[in-house]
Chain A
Amino acid sequence: GAVVSQHPSRVICKSGTSVKIECRSLDFQATTMFWYRQFPKQSLMLMATSNEGSKATYEQGVEKDKFLINHASLTLSTLTVTSAHPEDSSFYICSATSGEETQYFGPGTRLLVL
């Protein structure tokens, strides 16, 4: 089946720094990638939808200047958390689709901001 990877799997950073998370589709071309955030024991909340070559569409309440998304190729999307603060600590998950109904999820990235 289709495989989606994320890097890094875990990251710890100091408050005020920026962190970049990569999401790659390993064996298919992802026309659309999604970024989710999940707090402990809670569900996935969609942050933004990213289409290759165009600007991401952000969900209501998600700051686009804080969570920068770049989908420069059909196999890579990046999420940069700028000026991270402790409240940004969360589990960030990406998913990718080639245009079919199924979204393939990555393994997630655990971000801890000190």
Chain B
Amino acid sequence: TQLLEQSPQFLSIQEGENLTVYCNSSSVFSSLQWYRQEPGEGPVLLVTVVTGGEVKKLKRLTFQFGDARKDSSLHITAAQPGDTGLYLCAGEGPNSGGSNYKLTFGKGTLLTVNP
């Protein structure tokens, strides 16, 4: 069962454009994380959002956690070719409990920023 739906799955844009990636679920997560992964490498954590309604900014990246902690979005302003990569959202839980902090990953959004 796919618990986290990410959209769009593929996105190809020109340098300078803005974009938004969505991560939606019917389940509540205790926290949600966004990762960026380059080909042939492991994912790198960008941000963790914990509180419903939380907004975090990382330079040109803005992350938002839905009020109900079921969805999240990643907005990139003035995209650059260096932003190219696979963006993954991952929710902790919803049934993990305990101390395992198991993550459920979305399918990912493959972003290509053309110069």
Interface of A toward B, CB cutoff 8 Å: 4, 6, 31-32, 34, 41-46, 49, 51, 91, 93, 95, 97, 99-103, 105-108, 110
Taking beta carbons and an 8 Å cutoff, which residues of B are in contact with A? 31, 35, 40-45, 48, 86, 88, 90, 92, 99-108, 110
- List, in ascending order, chain B residues with CB within 8 A of A110's CB: 40
Given contacts A32-B100, A41-B110, contact A107 B41 (CB under 8 A): yes
Check A101–B92 contact: CB distance below 8 A.
yes
Which of B31, B43, B45 lies at the interface centre, i.e. has the most chain A CB atoms within 10 A of its CB? B43
Q: Across the interface, do A97 and B101 meet the contact criterion of CB distance under 8 Å?
A: yes
Can you name 30 A-B pairs with beta carbons within 8 Å? Answer: A4-B42, A6-B42, A31-B99, A32-B99, A32-B100, A32-B101, A34-B102, A41-B86, A42-B107, A43-B105, A44-B43, A44-B90, A46-B102, A46-B103, A46-B104, A51-B100, A91-B40, A93-B43, A100-B101, A101-B92, A101-B101, A102-B45, A103-B103, A105-B35, A105-B42, A106-B42, A107-B41, A108-B40, A108-B41, A110-B40
Chain B nearest CB, measured from A66 CB (Å) = 21
B40, B42, B48, B108: the one contacting A43 at CB < 8 Å is B108
Closest to A60 in B: B1
Instruction: Kindly identify which residue among B41, B99, B100, B105 contacts A44, using a CB–CB cutoff of 8 Å.
Output: B105
Given A32-B101, A42-B108, A43-B105, A102:B43 Cβ within 8 A:
no
A101 CB contacts on chain B under 8 angstroms: 31, 48, 92, 101
Distance between Cα atoms of A99 and B31 in the complex (Å) = 15
